[in-house]
Structure 1
């Protein structure tokens, strides 16, 4: 049902138009206004979809009335009714957005056809608005999934440029400025705070929250360029800690990594955030990596920071023998330098803490490593350090042994079957009882491809099959295979197939 308003200063013209339209388009609800002033009032009260506006009227003329109504009701469409067929008039009418015009006098069939044409335009616009609203709603629903997945991939694995650029665009955060990583460590039994932390970060509009693994929540933060990064980080840390006000800050701690220019470096900032959170017993419940006692450089120039990097990578890959060799080599270097034994023990403990944080991110719960007492000599330090490391290795192995041998194949099949849905590493992790990071690692290790690339392959293969049906539009296919943005789908398709979806389909249907 559509509402139409007829505006004309001559009653016989109004009555004639209404009779013609009610006969030709009986579903129309029609009202009349005898001048421009009344038309302005009725536009507000009656809220017509379409107005037939006479041009020459006393007082406010037709074009002036259109301009005034347009200012407050831009959705209303207009057909001008005039005895003047001049270029200047037509140009001004087009500028005001008038959709068509009728010359006096007009045949009844022409009047009905013109009104039908504009009503069809209104119908198409309504459908477009409804479709756009549905797409926007669908995109809003998938945003948290996109956010957690991209954080997981950025902190653990490589994200292909086409995905990164487009996903960043969808998330609507400017990544041109500096950025850094935070990790929020929660006490046991505090998993229900995850949603509150996500909501707090979202309300501050300054970052992406990754999936929770173990008791840690990773956050990539995009500070404002005009303000001090450190002061913004302190504010954010305090705001996040305030979420825990019901049970104090017992067991809570926030590590804050260094600032970097590129998203490619955010993994480094995240590893620094983990190191900064090694000792949650500190009185202030957040710490910057730059305030953490540095391991430094040995006297022979060996950068101890390199050991930190190796630990992250080798523990994630399960290379325990190499980890043991690195640790013993680390102790030997300090021993050869004649370093203070207590100082060396503290440095080794920091490395073991790093190892425990990496295990926690993979979903492997482990007690914080501690020495039973102060070592009496370097031999005792080596023995006790190997015992602590062996305990970690056993916990890791037990965790790994609990995983079903065909878990990765189950995950692969699930992705293939559900690739058209809004699936995520976090949801898959909940299904199989593994952390998103660990699934990402398993996927890359066993299948030689990362999760996002595999999901993309599944979707593009389905799209190619659907393209064989000429009755389906590319826009329809976009949504059927799991994408919510046709432009994004087009870019991903071109990256995978080296031609656009349109060109590929032409070739496919041509053959």
Structure 2
């Protein structure tokens, strides 16, 4: 909506001008001021787009008022209204950016022509501003995605088409050569909690906020050289925790060690996860350096089983995964190893499993103990529960994935059944091995790949036989068979009659 302010010391002039303009432009809002001082005071409240300013007024003149207003509101446009067609006024007016002038008295048509040009200009500028605002909004959304993408690439080893260095250059966020990761564990019921944390982190310092994975939010924080590491991290943690005062029991923050390059930031992230191993502490944040050190006793299951776990997860061999983890727990229970050390080693394995699942594209739970574990029986129960949840997520993902893939493969075969389609070429099309496609066909459709391809070709042939102009030989070539005799044998096997007999029946029925 365009707003206009008429400034004139004569009431009759103001009312006359308003009547003329309001009739021609009923949609604009028109306010009045009887002198320059009042106009200056009203601008803050009214925020006019255009001011029709009389030049000769008692007190503050029109030119003085324009000068004052322009300094504070440079976007406001002015049309000078004067009974004096004098050069010095025009020169001063041009200096202050006055768009045009109206002489007193003027015809209504002259007034509308002069004001109309400026109103149209205002309209065009507003439309351009709105377009720019929307573009800026979209750009900011894109930058938010870039930011989360950077964190994802750095922490989860994701490889994207756009190189990491190019993404970093896009962000206008000050970075330093020292950084650390904080991992925020938050309740999931609050819808705007992500934006609240992001805003709070931004106000506290320079950082990159990652995507929310389940109830886990990783943030890469750049060191502030004016503060110590512990004071900077503690202040940030307390500021974020202040968001969840009402249900702070469900909040916890783990703080990783400082590293000196982005290549090492994943280590700080893993530190921050280890710091969250026990979330029922009185203080709702903990530094990795404050976690009791583990004895170097060869207890690291991942050091021996990392590749095995990776392969087993991708193949969905959850019984083997569970057997390895439970065997690890049982062996150390027999040796009487401290329960805290074992549960920490086990949670590292669970985090590794969840990371591999995310790399595959499966958004699973963040594996964290839901209570303070007192003995090995509780540890086995809790670990089994976490593994079951991840197993269920894995199964649901592949059910959806296979259903979508089956649809894609079926449609491709239907559309290209007349071509020489091999399992290998089909595998390349959907990015899967020929063995997996063959197995999936048999399990999900109860039919092998060749039989389905044959059915597609025969259905297409049956449709083409409705056209008496096409010979059986032409049809056999068109549906993908190079030998008409072989086509006839296949057709008879499936339809229990020869192609000629089928065509005779179809054409007879259609008469």
Q: Report the TM-score when normalising by structure 1.
A: 0.52
Distance 1:395 1:121, change over 3 A: closer
Residue 119 of structure 1 and its aligned partner are, at CA, apart by 0.8
Structure 1 position 355, deviation (Å): 0.9
Give the direction of change, closer, same or farther, for the CA distance of 1:64–1:278 in structure 2 (3 Å limit): same
**3-state SS, counterpart of residue 404 of structure 1:** helix
Aligned partner of 1:269 in structure 2 is: 268
The offset of 1:165, in angstroms, is 3.4
| Residues in 1 aligned to 2:287 and 2:401: alpha-carbon distance in whole angstroms | 38
More displaced, 177-186 or 34-43? 34-43
Distance 1:109 1:226, change over 3 A: same
Give the Å deviation of 1:136.
6.2
Q: Write the distance in 2 (CA, Å) between the matches of 1:316 and 1:3.
A: 66
Change beyond 3 A, Cα 1:223–1:202: farther
Residue 313 to residue 23, structure 1, CA distance change in 2 (3 Å):
same
Task: For 2:210 and 2:268, locate their aligned partners in 1 and report how far apart those are by CA, in whole Å.
Answer: 14
Give deviations 1:257-306, integer Å, cap 9, x for gaps: 122354454323212222333455767554323344567999xxxxx999
2-side partners of 1:412 and 1:140: how far apart? 38
Please, which of 142, 161, 171 is the counterpart of residue 168 of structure 1? 171
Whether 1:355 and 2:354 are equivalent positions in the alignment is: no
CA contact (8 A) 1:6 1:52 kept: yes
* 1:254 counterpart = 2:248: no
SS where residue 259 of structure 2 aligns?
A: coil
CA distance in 2 between partners of 1:75 and 1:126 (Å): 11
Query: Number of paired residues?
Result: 375
Q: 2-side partners of 1:43 and 1:344: how far apart? A: 74
Asked whether the 8 Å contact 2:300–2:345 carries over to 1, the reply is: no
Deviation, 1:117, is 1.4
| 1:182-211 Cα distance to aligned partner (Å, 9 max, x none) | 22457xxx5436855763453353455544
Structure 1 residues 355-364 or 389-398, which shifts more? 389-398
8 Å contact kept, 1:311–1:355:
no
Aligned-partner SS, 1:407 = helix
Which residue matches 1:66? 66
Distance 2:393 2:33 in 1: 79
Q: Say whether 1:83 aligns with 2:80.
A: no
Flag structure 1 segments of 5+ consecutive residues without an equivalent.
299-303, 332-340, 374-384, 415-444, 448-511
Q: Secondary structure at the match of 1:259?
A: coil
Aligned to 1:100: 100
- Equivalent runs, 1:283-322 vs 2, <5 Å: 286-292=285-291, 315=309, 318=312
1:64 deviates by 0.6
Which 5+ residue runs of structure 2 have no aligned equivalent? 329-334, 358-363, 409-429, 433-511
Give the deviation of 1:121 after TM superposition.
1.4
Q: Check conservation: 2:79, 2:100, Cα contact below 8 A.
A: yes
Q: 1:197-236 residue pairs with structure 2 within 5 A?
A: 199-200=196-197, 202-205=199-202, 206=204, 207=207, 209-213=209-213, 216-222=216-222, 224-236=224-236
Corresponding residue of 1:192: 189
* Inter-partner Cα distance in structure 2 for 1:347 and 1:360: 20
Distance 1:16 1:36, change over 3 A: same
8 Å CA contact 1:360, 1:366 repeated in 2: yes
**Which digits, 9 at most, give the CA deviation of each residue in 1:462-490, with x for residues without a partner?**
xxxxxxxxxxxxxxxxxxxxxxxxxxxxx
Provide the rounded CA distance (Å) in 1 between the counterparts of 2:248 and 2:18.
75
Aligned 1:366-377 pairs, distance under 5 A: none
Report the secondary structure of 1:120's partner residue. Answer: helix
* Aligned CA distance change for structure 1 residues 211 and 83 (closer, same or farther; 3 Å): same
Are the counterparts in 2 of residues 255 and 275 from structure 1 also a CA contact under 8 Å? Answer: yes
Report what 1:481 is aligned to.
Answer: none
* Deviation by residue 1:33-92 (Cα, 9 ceiling, x = unmatched): 675446546657876543333445554333212123335655542022452335x953x5
